[in-house]
Amino acid sequence: MAPYEIKTIAVVGSGTMGAAIAQVAAMAGFPVVLYDLKKEILSKAEETISRNLDKGIERGKLSPDKKGSTISLIRTTNDFNELRADLIIEAILEKLDIKVALFNKLAGINSAQTIFATNTSSIPITRIAAATPHPERVVGMHFFNPAHIMKLVEVISGAATEPSVAKTVKDLAEKLGKKAVMAKDAPGFIVNRVARQFYVEGLKIAEEQVADFETIDKLIESYGFRMGPFRLMDLIGVDTNFSVTSSMFESFHFDSKFRPSRIQQQKVDAGHHGRKSGKGFYDYS
């Protein structure tokens, strides 16, 4: 087993998750390269990170100096050739072929010690790794939204993942201030498999017109949950949530208990993706 040491981190994809992961890594003192194809998306990510840090200052959890040092450790780029690091975390579309193509391209410009981590919510790590040249160095590192606040990180080993790779990533997650749990490779891993029914059953109740979104949320929240399923889907992203459900539906051979909702499909088709678009199950405009 090769010794792995993480000194530099690259994050591919500067959307909601990618920006927050870059922020978390930089706050822990790691130099980070944050990549996206479009400069305007990178600019938006920089604004988001700055805003997140300002909120931390307002709440007394962060000093202005810490904000400055964090931002200084994040370098944004749209030059793919700059994606050279000890650990590369992808936070891109939840599509198997796109993730595989990315890791294959990254393998061509990185060293034999680079670890490739996927932030996938539901795609089995083995399926991603099997189509890459170094499956032993592919591992799941699943953060939860919002990644700069949520403590949990699932570390998932595929069939070929080297144990030392998984341990290195678990240790790193803990250095980032996260609670890391090791998981075996299965669709949805631990949390998304358990949570899927939280969303799917809520959507079925709405489909059957037993109650509306707000009533369902209020009932769940009165039971002790911080958010009901519809508020949480709006926070995560209705499109992201729908993509995960669709992926798990396929991975479980179309088991009806994972069936995606027609209501959610309609929201996605309409561009009502939740808070990030200004409208989802609720209106944020």
Alpha-helix runs per DSSP H in the chain: 16-27, 39-58, 64-72, 96-107, 125-130, 163-175, 191-207, 213-222, 229-236, 238-251, 262-270
Tens digit of each residue's pLDDT (9 = 90 or more) over 181-225: 999 998 889 999 999 999 999 999 999 999 999 999 999 999 999
Domains of the chain (ranges; CATH) run 9-184 (3.40.50.720), 193-276 (1.10.1040.50)
Average pLDDT rounded to a whole number, residues 115-143: 96
Give which of 48, 34, 59 is closest to 148, Cα–Cα.
Answer: 48
Structure tokens at 139: 């591992």
Longest dimension (CA), the chain: 56
Judged against a pLDDT cut of 60, whether residue 1 lies above it is answered with no
Three-class secondary structure of residue 35 per DSSP: strand
What pLDDT, on the 0 to 100 scale, is given for residue 3?
A: 76
Q: How far apart are CA 70 and CA 150, in angstroms?
A: 18
How would you class 240 by CB atoms within 10 Å of its CB: exposed for 0-12, middle for 13-18, buried for 19 or more? buried
Mean of pLDDT values over 234-243: 92
* pLDDT, averaged across the chain: 95
Q: Which residues are part of the catalytic machinery?
A: 121, 142, 154, 192
Convert the pLDDT of each residue in 145-190 to its tens digit. Answer: 889 999 999 999 999 999 999 999 999 999 999 999 999 998 889 9
Q: How confident is the model at residue 2 (pLDDT cuts 50, 70, 90)?
A: low
- % residues pLDDT > 90 (the chain): 91
Both tokens of 51, joined, read: 């805003």
Length of the chain: 285
Q: Give the phi and the psi of residue 143 in degrees, each rounded to 5.
A: -85, 165
pTM recorded for the entire structure: 0.88
Backbone angles phi, psi at 102, to 5 degrees: -65, -50
Which DSSP string do the residues of 94-137 spell out, in sequence order? S-HHHHHHHHHHHHTTS-TT-EEEE--SSS-HHHHHHTSS-GGG
Cβ-in-10-Å burial (0-12, 13-18, 19+) of 266 comes to exposed
Edge to edge, the sheet with strand 87-90 lists 74-77, 32-35, 9-12, 87-90, 115-118, 138-143, 152-157, 179-184
Is the pLDDT at 122 greater than 90, yes or no? no
Per-residue pLDDT reduced to its tens digit, 56-93: 999 999 999 999 999 999 999 999 999 999 999 999 98
Q: Which two tokens stand for residue 15?
A: 């959307």
